[in-house]
Amino acid sequence: MTGRRQLRLNLFVYPGGHHEAAWRHPGTDPGRLLDVGFYQELARAAERATFDAVFLADGPSLADNVRHASRFRLEPFTWLAAIAAATERIGLVATASTTYTEPYNLARLFASLDHLSRGRAGWNIVTTGAPQAAANFGLDAHPTHAERYGRAHEFVDVVTRLWDSWEDEALIADQRTGLFADTDRIHPIDHRGRHFRVRGPLNTPRSPQGRPVYVQAGSSREGRGFAARHAEAVFTAHQTLASGQEFYADIKTRAAALGRDPDLVLVLPGISPFIASTEAEARGLRRKFDELTQPAYSLELLHRLLGVRLTADRLDEPFPRELVQTGGERGNGSRFRLVLDIVDRERPTVRELLHRLAGARGHQVVAGTPEQIADHIQEWFEHGAADGFNIMPPWLPGGFDLFADQVVPILRARGLFRSAYRGTTLRDHYGLPRPAAVSPAPTIPAKDTA
């Protein structure tokens, strides 16, 4: 391939698939959702397709609606360690919360993953929006939106300095001289801030990528500012090309205003494709999934997103827009605004809105032929809405197999996507440089035990 701009593609793995009824579809085996081999097979398939990364979302609480859907959580570092052992090149991205973890522990976990995978780790930085998580950590209330982002900025600063507390040349391991580490190149960080006091240094050498890739998910006003300052890849959700273009331009402009190269801040919206040989068949496939949805689950999801509690006897009535309250903590959320935009733009019935959300919880769902899916991806990529995509198969493994076997070859034929890896790290795949270390604090004095 030439130097032409290339798509970045991740496989976003959700237990069973991204459609809420995926676990009920005959193409899904719910008995394998806790089988490590299942996820290793998915990752190897994504690696054969030369995807940039596999991504596992996480949250520190049980979803309210697990009664009717496979919405449990697997701990991501255990999951990614198993994936790392079964793959060689594909990136490994996981969610970890800045609200419900501590910087030192998280820095160790990601540094270890980056070392043991030879430079394939990425951190999806979230502040956690689920208020029920607070009770799992001894808190009386979930911190406010602004409080969570204030903590997150300091959290990232601490983790960055911990990852840089070993200079690249600090690890010597010279068997002849007996010098294992140059302690003049290992530094405490001596951080004292509003939220954290951390002495440092990290007890792990600087990792192969220098630092794992910084990923961010969140499109609120605070989320956009956070992404522009810290993120190297931004996971986002949009329903229309115009919305995607506005977000893309805003993130790039904000990053440039902060002195960053906007080309090194990748915008990666989610897309959930239903693929068939004709558009009619693809739409029919989507309808079959929608017919498997359960109103009890769907209505609970709607309540969680918009704060409106409805009953099953209203499914075929127009959605009651007047019941939505736009103020308060919920109104700050980007997903709230996205769903409300669907309501205002399409004026759906309750059932139609539930089916719109069933596919991927607000991410775009596209049904069509392989060529149509490729056209859609190319349009967003070439018209200022995306640098690539999180591929969110409606069901697994079949939904991904269709994309890898039928859409990826079209993207390659159009010169939009690689046919072979050119590097070994996630930064290589994303086209991101290895960062220089931040300036060190005073060194740890060497202790002569001779």
* CA 418 to each of CA 27, 64, 422: distance values in angstroms, whole numbers, following the listed order: 29, 40, 9
**171-174/179-181 β-pairing:** antiparallel
pLDDT at 376 (0 to 100): 98
Is 396's pLDDT higher than 60?
yes
Model confidence pLDDT, tens digit, residues 216-273: 997 888 999 999 999 999 999 999 999 999 999 999 999 999 999 999 999 999 999 9
- φ, ψ for residue 341, nearest 5 deg: -65, -40
Read off the pTM.
Answer: 0.92
CB atoms within 10 A of CB 108: 16
pLDDT at 449 (0 to 100): 38
pLDDT band at 443 (very low <50, low <70, confident <90, very high): very low
What mean pLDDT, rounded, does the chain reach? Answer: 93
pLDDT at 3 (0 to 100): 64
Between CA 217 and CA 247 the distance in angstroms is: 13
CB atoms within 10 A of CB 2: 5
CB atoms within 10 A of CB 447: 6
Is 442's pLDDT higher than 60?
no
Tokens, residue 91: 């990136």
pLDDT at 127 (0 to 100): 94
Model confidence pLDDT, tens digit, residues 164-190: 999 999 999 999 999 999 999 999 999
Model confidence pLDDT, tens digit, residues 70-102: 888 899 999 999 999 999 999 999 999 999 999
Between CA 279 and CA 281 the distance in angstroms is: 5
pLDDT at 70 (0 to 100): 84
DSSP conformation class of 330: G
pLDDT band at 440 (very low <50, low <70, confident <90, very high): low
Q: Are 348 and 356 in contact (CB under 8 A)?
A: yes
